[in-house]
Structure 1
Amino acid sequence: MEMEFRALLLLTLLGLLFVEPAFGQRGDMDIGEWLRDKVELIKNLEDKLKHVESLQNDVGALEAGLNATVDELMGQKAEVDRLKKENEGLKTRLNATEEEIDRLKRSSAKGAPQIAFSASLANFGEIYKGPCTDKALIYKRVFSNTGNGYDQSTGIFTAPVGGLYFFSFSTYGYNTHVMGAMLMKNGARQISTYDGPTADGSDSSSNAVALQLAAGDKVHMELWDNGRVFDNLNGHTTFSGFLVFPV
């Protein structure tokens, strides 16, 4: 395109030369001076042509820079769109979290069941329990019974609600008999303590467990066969439990 433009300009200048009056008809005009004027004109036109070409190059560079800027802006717009979508996802998760927190607050405000008990075997004097046919241990000295899950007349804890419960117990006895007890859930043994007759004077032990209970499940303590435990107001033989959380 540029070469064609230069060629067209030169041809135009040559045409101007040929349409001038014949050299012989120019009167006293000096031919050398005339030629110098024409050469100067051509040089000026060539300089202007170079300037135009330079401007065209500048325009091309500006256009390339503009295209690069447009590409960069398009990339930034795509990144902004991606961040907007990510932000919308974060807002959705945040709203869900806030709703869950509100639900937990409302649940807490209603009040989770408060269930706990603790008791020891003897409520006065001293007591030796066992050996006996009825091996169930009935803890008469009740320290606490929040929720009324423990029945001190039977020694049985009945779960008021379903949930995870934690139970612990301790046993104390003398060397003349088997010492220990078993924690029973609905009549099935779960954990125990045990110590056979020994030469030492007395033995004590303890154990604990977390149990999943349904509402109405029953937990109590039993002696081993031919077993015996001892208690007094010092609370050597105990049974305790509480609700960790409802399910």
Structure 2
Amino acid sequence: MEFRAMLLLTLLGFLFVEPGFGQRGDMDISEWMRTKEQLIKNLEDKLTDVERQQNDFDALEARLNATVDELTRQKAEMDKLKKENEGLKTRLNASEVEIDKLKQSSGEAAPQIAFSVSLANSGEIYRGPCTDKTLVFKRIFSNTGNAYNQNTGVFTAPLNGLYYFSFSTYGYNTHVMGAILMKNDVRQISTYDYTSVDGSDSSSNAAVLQLAAGDKVHMELWDNGRVFDNLNGHTTFSGFLLFPM
């Protein structure tokens, strides 16, 4: 505002110190004043427009600075996620190498025990809620060693060893979705999802268990739980012997 006032005063000085003004006795002073007032008003309007443009520029600069700050923050977050992802890949690769070593150390003469099954062998199956919560997987992809019983849903360890188990579950939001991996009727690991508004849910889990010959492993529903399966194989159960002990 001080700059605006000084500029106006300077312009007014130039306007009123007009050469030869004293010799113009016949000039219509009123008309001259109106002309000068209009000129001053035009100058004020231009100054107002300049100030408005300056304000717009300042606001734009502030938005640009905020955008730069947000992009900087997002880049830092992406760099952090990239670093975490690289760490996960490193650990996964190390786990795969270790599993390969365990498989190789078992020797060529090691017993071959492995199975992979899904819940539905035809059509669609909604399993649960029910009193007998054991999941009996009927569709057999493989059952080397015949340690999995498709009539009871139970895997029985044929010998002492370290075994790897994995499973996946799928269900809709009307019931609790998930299942529990049981060893000799004792809970080991599980999947779980509350009833929700997202339509359907899926999840998976895995574990390495040390079993003695005769130990039993099976999958069981949660109370009031339900899972779904069809020939697409949404709800599955798999396991194999890593090496005998």
Report TM bin, short chain.
0.5 to 0.7
Paired residues for 1:48-87 under 5 Å: none
How many residues of Structure 1 are paired with residues of Structure 2 in the alignment? 141
Correspondence for 2:194? 196
Correspondence for 2:111? 113
- Secondary structure in structure 2 of the residue aligned to 1:189: strand
Identity within the alignment, %: 79
Correspondence for 2:92? none
Correspondence for 1:130? 128
Tell me how far 1:237 sits from its aligned partner: 0.1
Correspondence for 2:83? none
Q: Which runs of 5+ in 1 are unaligned?
A: 1-104
Correspondence for 1:208? 206
- Secondary structure in structure 2 of the residue aligned to 1:177: coil
Tell me how far 1:229 sits from its aligned partner: 0.1
Correspondence for 1:184? 182
Tell me how far 1:236 sits from its aligned partner: 0.1
Of 137, 140, 155, 1:142 maps to 140
Cα gap change, 1:163/1:199 in structure 2, threshold over 3 Å: closer, same or farther? Answer: same
Write the distance in 1 (CA, Å) between the matches of 2:107 and 2:169. 37
RMSD: 1.3
Correspondence for 1:28? none
Of 233, 236, 239, 1:235 maps to 233
Correspondence for 2:154? 156
Write the distance in 2 (CA, Å) between the matches of 1:174 and 1:145. 29
Correspondence for 2:220? 222
Tell me how far 1:213 sits from its aligned partner: 0.2
Q: Which amino acid letter does the alignment assign opposite residue 157 of structure 1? A: F
Write the distance in 2 (CA, Å) between the matches of 1:130 and 1:245. 35
Tell me how far 1:108 sits from its aligned partner: 3.8
Which has the greater radius of gyration?
1
Q: Deviating runs (4+, > 2 A) in structure 1? A: none
Q: Which amino acid letter does the alignment assign opposite residue 161 of structure 1? A: L
